[in-house]
Amino acid sequence: MPSLQALFLHNNLLYGQISPFHCNSLQYIDFSHNRLYGQIPPSVFKLEQLRALMLSSNDKLTGNISSVICELKFLEILDLSNNGFSGFIPQCLGNFSDGLLVLHLGANNLHGNIPSIYSEENSLRYLNFNGNQLKGVIPPSIINCVNLEFLDLGNNMIDDTFPSFLETLPQLEVVVLRSNKLHGSLKGPTVKDSFSKLQIFDLSNNSLSGPLPTEYFNNFKAMMSVDEDMDYMRTNNLSTSYVYSVTLAWKGLEIEFSQFQIALTTLDLSCNKFTGKIPESLGKLKSLIQLNLSHNSLICYIQPSLGNLTNLESLDLTSNLIAGRIPPQLVDLTFLQVLNLSYNQLEGPIPQGKQFNTFENGSYEGNLGLCGFPLQAKCNKGEGKQQPPSNFKKEDSMFEEGFGWKAVAMGYGCGFVFGVSIGYVVFRARKPAWFLKMVEDSAHQNAKRLRRKNAPRNGGRRY
């Protein structure tokens, strides 16, 4: 079939090796989701007109990815994910073609470094190396991928700080850097409207520290408006459509979404070393479906503003140092399916009604001060009346504004000076008469009381 241009055999049960190709006119190959095994035949790399090579999810395709693949100058889509490919990623993949839109090598056995050079003219929109054994740092030249919408480098061994240069990429909607060795703090934006289109932000299972990036949250404009677009995230303006896939921890389970809707909005900063308070600005991210801040060292109280996240389906704050009461505003989260507040320092009555009537003990365990349904601990009379959580904020601000360490130091200093001055005046006057008279009168009265107390009653004996 010398005139064949497209061969789509995906989503079948085809078994065996890939046969050599001799159709020089072939532009699209899709053998994904089958049971193929062996290596990619060298003849594939001689198909000069090839625009899309999709061999994902065959499980048993093996061998190295040859650098010869970089000779396919018209390639737009390369998806070899979910296979058994090993060795190094060819470094030329970052800059061999200005027309490459999709590069998906996730879920293989690749090691070494991420390709370090990305040309300034590249058109890359989807870059996914998730689930390999890649080391080193995240290359700063990714800043040249100005059309990048999706970046997933999760589940590798990348040892780096947070790549703040990503904030300059105006089209970025998905950033997944979970389960690496990232460290240091998130210093906040340096450019205007950074991450304004972000829908998924996953930095979980790293060693990031410092306060939560409040300044970034204020820039997450796309998360502030509810997007009712139920379409799947995909590349546009292609002769063949390519639907994006992503791997996320979803409601407690790690799941690979072979396709996901644009409206799937997620913020996951769990399993790090973040400290400080939960920012009130999180309440602005009204399109959030999942919020996970668990396994950090967050303090203070649960922000009542989280009650504004009316689309939220999963809220996980477990294993922090959060104190105070559960704000009653959370009862209004009518889509909430998963709630985990366990192992904190929460106290008081558990709010009742709506979704809160469906949660079990596991949502609250490890908080010895909590009471009420579904726990066995009953609340004391009057304790069931919820106090507005805003009191926490009021008390915090009063302490910060009126009773901070500066005020205490000033009071202590004034009292010390006043006491020393009075003592000096008294003793400089060499025991003034009024002072001696006051002391002597007091001693005389005490002696009289003592004699009356010890006097014998009703003829009793005195000892």
pLDDT digits over 391-413, tens only? 444 434 433 333 444 444 455 55
Question: Residue 403: its pLDDT value, please?
Answer: 40
Point out the least confidently predicted range of 348-352, 364-368, 415-419, 433-437.
Answer: 433-437
User: Residue 348 is inside which H or E element, if any?
Assistant: strand 345-349
Mean of all residue pLDDT scores within the chain: 85
pLDDT, tens digit (0-9, with 9 covering 90-100), for 151-162: 999 999 999 999
Residues whose CB is less than 8 angstroms from the CB of residue 166 and which lie 6 or more positions away in sequence, other chains included = 142, 143, 151, 172, 175, 195
Q: Report residue 238's pLDDT band, with 50, 70 and 90 as the boundaries.
A: low
Residue partners of 429: CB distance under 8 A and separation at least 6: none
Over range 314-318, report the average pLDDT: 97
Q: Amino acid identity, residue 101?
A: L
Q: Beta strands 133-135 and 183-185: pairing type?
A: unpaired
Considering only residues 390 and 423, tell me which one the structure prediction assigns the higher pLDDT.
423
Distance CA(266)–CA(187), nearest Å, equals 21
SS3 15: strand
Tokens of 269: 């900063």
pLDDT band at 42 (very low <50, low <70, confident <90, very high): very high
**Which tokens belong to 287?**
């399109």
pLDDT (tens digit per residue) in 71-120: 999 999 999 999 999 999 999 998 888 899 999 999 999 999 999 999 98
Token pair, residue 382, equals: 């009057």
Stretch (H or E) spanning 37: strand 35-38
Residue 338 has pLDDT above 80, yes or no: yes
Q: In the structure encoding, which two tokens stand for residue 380, read together?
A: 């004391």
Please tell me whether residue 234 adopts helix, strand or coil conformation: strand
Does pLDDT of 435 surpass 70? Answer: no
Buried residues in 7-16 as b, exposed as e (16+ CB within 10 A):
eeebeeeeee
Greater model confidence, 374 or 434: 374
Place of tokens 């072939």: 26
Half-sphere exposure at residue 236, Cβ-oriented, CA atoms within 13 angstroms: 6
> How many CA atoms within 13 Å lie on the side-chain side of 281?
12
**Which of the two residues, 235 and 364, has the higher pLDDT score?**
364
3-state secondary structure of 254: strand
User: What's the mean pLDDT in 330-339?
Assistant: 95
**What pLDDT does residue 130 have?**
96
- Identify the three-state secondary structure at position 176: strand
pLDDT attached to residue 415:
57
Beta strands in 218-313 (DSSP E): 246-250, 253-257, 266-268, 273-276, 290-292, 297-298
Return the SS3 of 248. strand
pLDDT of residue 450: 45
SS3 304: helix
Residue range 417-435: mean pLDDT, rounded: 47
Region 318-331 average pLDDT: 97
Tell me what the mean pLDDT of segment 445-452 comes to: 48
Three-class SS state of 369: strand
Strand partners, 267: 201, 291
Token pair 């921890």 is at which residue? 249
3-state SS assignment for residue 409 = helix
